[in-house]
Structure 1
């Protein structure tokens, strides 16, 4: 099915108690958006998989302020993103000393996932999902991790205003990600 227009896409937000019934659907979208991982799981050394996504989302549901934004076209989910407010200590890990104090002191949103089905990509849906998360959480700063080899994702995040803050590992032996930061400009300013 070919997408018609972006105006056909509706964005809905969900809180933690509403997410579990959507897990399989968001996992399917995530898998469609990441064929390089799903089609060749032995090539992935960073623990990314559909079962890992399920565990990750279920673990993140405990964070106060958790928000899932989902994009629907013609009644079917075609994209999603989720984020939650978090502390600098939780999000920045070993990079904390390198993050400037004015950033560490601000309200922070950790953007964990943003995925759009391939047939619906490059139509502004990812940007709309991101905007819905920013509106729901209202942070001063947003941060995310991106794989260094994810050039397409990196270009999207840079267009949104994210800037490289440094290399990041979840564990000392884990894969290296790029930590990106966005200063969120209040619409009231």
Structure 2
């Protein structure tokens, strides 16, 4: 069965927040995330609720038999986002200007239920959200030690700009961007 994709703005995403959090809880219920407060369900819920207020917020869900089996959420990258600024001159010059013009999509989270991973669903969700965005470049951060995701993003054409931390308690991330095609 093919998944059904649906786009949600912040208002409609608030209506399915419990489903989104449930998917997160299942995806992150594995080592090394278990027991790490940064990856707790409560911390994620707070980050997601905060993201709803970000300009251009959107989530794309994939459903099978009516249940969410994967989703992505993101927003227009704020040019003054601390992790973005921390990259300083490691950002390609054109991207600095593009961020100032609200031309970069920040893919904040992409997840697929464990039993459906490695079947191409993540790529489908990724491509669906990007195809519907007006921004010409996509950026994301990927945990350095998350080898499967890291390798997938590189295969999909992302380029690493440098390493960042979202917060003192967060792991180390590679900041990546996908050039416009």
Using the size of structure 2 for normalisation, the TM-score is 0.88
Q: Which of 144, 147, 150 is the equivalent residue of 1:154?
A: 150
Aligned counterparts of 2:32 and 2:17: Cα–Cα separation in 1: 17
Is the 1:11–1:69 contact (alpha carbons within 8 Å) kept by the matching residues of 2?
A: yes
State which of 126, 130, 144 in structure 1 corresponds to 2:126.
Answer: 130
In the aligned structure 2, how far is the partner of 1:31 from the partner of 1:93?
30
Partner of 1:78: 69
Q: How does 1:93-172 map to 2 (within 5 A)?
A: 93-106=85-98, 107-171=103-167
Count of matched residue positions in the alignment of Structure 1 and Structure 2 = 176
For normalisation by structure 1, the TM-score amounts to 0.85
| Residue 33 (structure 1) aligned with residue 27 (structure 2) | yes
User: Which runs of no fewer than 5 residues in structure 1 stay unpaired?
Assistant: none
**Change in 2 beyond 3 A, CA 1:79/1:174:** closer
C-alpha RMSD of matched pairs (Å): 1.9
State the shift of 1:17 in Å. Answer: 0.4
Q: Secondary structure at the match of 1:19?
A: helix
Q: Counterparts of 1:54-93 in structure 2 under 5 Å?
A: 54-90=45-81, 92-93=84-85
CA contact (8 A) 2:105 2:133 kept: yes
Gaps of 5+ in 2: none
